[in-house]
Amino acid sequence: MNKDIDIIETTLLRGRVQLLQPKQGFHASIDSVFLAAAVAVKDRAAVLDVGCGVGSAGLCVASRNNSIHLTGIDIQPELIDLAHQNAALSGFEERSAFFHGDIRSEKHIKDNGFNHVLMNPPYLESGTHTPSPEKIKATSHGEGASGATLADWVRYAHKKLKQGGHLTLIHRADRLDDVIVELEKKRWFGSLAVLPLVSHAGEDAKRVIIQARKERYAPFILKPGMVIHKDNGKYTKEAEAVLSDAAPIVLR
């Protein structure tokens, strides 16, 4: 591990997932937990976490089913090193593998080999923002820093999924149209379901969880928005169940 990086220790899901993270830069957030909750894991499923970072979302998925195998890939080697450590700390070392690589060119992870792909792509489109001077944060938040576009992320997911496999991702609500366009391009994905995440009742959604299937087509579903916070700032009952008790989010 890069000894120049200051590390902090955190947990998710009431300690089920132990995380070492860089003190500066991108940190695992509730987005990772909500994303993981929407991945409908079945026994012995093969799950791929694209842009896995330190492993937060994928390890949350692994914590819900002891028989799945988790694979992760990220372009930042220092985060992959931490993902390996986090898998060991959380007790998932024997059923997980993490790889450093660029999704535009990697050749080591099996094509057509996964039941589920989950991902939290950079939210900010290249050319629409000023990248952070902090490398890890810049790469995690903006498409331009890594060179991969949203289209590259969707293309990679399609390549790695088995026929009929599920893709689940979280993104900014104001980019939902971009996501849908990429998913339905070339009819790579269908059976879309969308869940808006709303910070407080009455507000516009800031995040959306989108699920689709590789080359399977069913009517589009728009779920009722999930409200995250009560008026007093505490989590709602539904959000608390996801964040603390690993309750699933059912999209279809």
**Residue 217 structure tokens:** 């087509």
Is residue 232 over pLDDT 50? yes
pTM of the predicted model over 0.85? yes
Q: Which residue has the higher pLDDT, 122 or 2?
A: 122
pLDDT at 15: 95
Q: How far is CA 162 from CA 155, 188, 214, in A?
A: 13, 12, 7
Is residue 61 over pLDDT 50? yes
DSSP state of 186: G
**Sign for the pseudo-dihedral over CA of 174, 49, 59, 195:** positive
Looking at the chain, the whole-number percentage of residues with pLDDT higher than 70 is 90
pLDDT at 142: 44
Is residue 201 over pLDDT 90? yes
Q: Coil, strand or helix: which one is 114?
A: strand
In the structure, what pLDDT confidence band is assigned to residue 125 with cuts at 50, 70 and 90? low
pLDDT at 26: 78
pLDDT per residue as tens digits for the range 68-118? 999 999 999 999 999 999 999 999 999 999 999 999 999 999 999 999 999
Is residue 131 over pLDDT 90? no
In the structure, what pLDDT confidence band is assigned to residue 163 with cuts at 50, 70 and 90? very high
Looking at the chain, the whole-number percentage of residues with pLDDT higher than 90 is 85
Q: How far is CA 184 from CA 21, 62, 87, 216, in A?
A: 35, 29, 34, 11
CATH 3.40.50.150 fits 7-188, yes or no: yes
CA distance 230 to 159: 41
Residues facing 200 on adjacent strands: 229
In the structure, what pLDDT confidence band is assigned to residue 132 with cuts at 50, 70 and 90? very low
In the structure, what pLDDT confidence band is assigned to residue 197 with cuts at 50, 70 and 90? very high
pLDDT per residue as tens digits for the range 135-152? 544 444 445 566 899 999
pLDDT per residue as tens digits for the range 21-51? 998 877 888 999 999 999 998 999 999 999 9
Q: Coil, strand or helix: which one is 113?
A: coil
pLDDT at 176: 98
Is residue 130 over pLDDT 80? no
CA distance 167 to 68: 16
Q: Which residue has the higher pLDDT, 124 or 227?
A: 227
Q: Which residues contact 230 (CB under 8 A, 6 or more apart)?
A: 200, 236
